[in-house]
Structure 1
Amino acid sequence: MKRQKRDKLGRAHSNGYQAGLCGKAKEHCPYQNIEAKSQWLGGWREAVADRNMGLFR
């Protein structure tokens, strides 16, 4: 059970990272669950920081 929960949260983080790389706004987060939304936003923030540092274009 714990593995499934971790996988869902990891997927949310990855989806948020991809959204941040594509330049989507954080308001486009598709998750309603607090934990998943938090993970998505964390990934989104990482991607935005990476883009600002010039790691991706």
Structure 2
Amino acid sequence: MKRQKRDTSNRIFSRGYQAGIAGKSRDNCQLNNLDQRANWMTGWRAGREDYWSGLGGVSAIHRDPAMHINTI
């Protein structure tokens, strides 16, 4: 199994980032586990900062954690 499939914290962070960069509300987080919710909110905050900085669409692709390829 690939490492990306096993690491849920990075996927949750990425989903939060994608919601934040899209301008969605933090109320969209439907996770109940506190650790998972914290990862999602951290990603959402990073996405909102980029959104407020004017990054979006193609200009934010280099910041999106889902686009990073791990070479480990």
TM-score by length of 1: 0.82
CA distance in 1, matches of 2:38, 2:44: 10
Higher helix share: 1
Alignment coverage as a number of residue pairs: 53
- The two structures, once aligned, show a CA RMSD in angstroms of 1.5
Q: Which runs of 5+ in 2 are unaligned?
A: 58-72
Identity %: 38
- The CA deviation string for residues 13-57 of structure 1, in whole angstroms up to 9 with x for no partner, is 000001111211001102110001000000000000001111226
Do the aligned partners of 2:31 and 2:37 also contact (CA within 8 Å) in 1?
Answer: yes
Deviation at 1:8, TM superposition (A): 0.8
Aligned equivalent of 2:44: 44
Q: Which runs of 5+ in 1 are unaligned?
A: none
Quick check: which has more Rg, 1 or 2? 2
- Which amino acid is 2:51 matched to? R
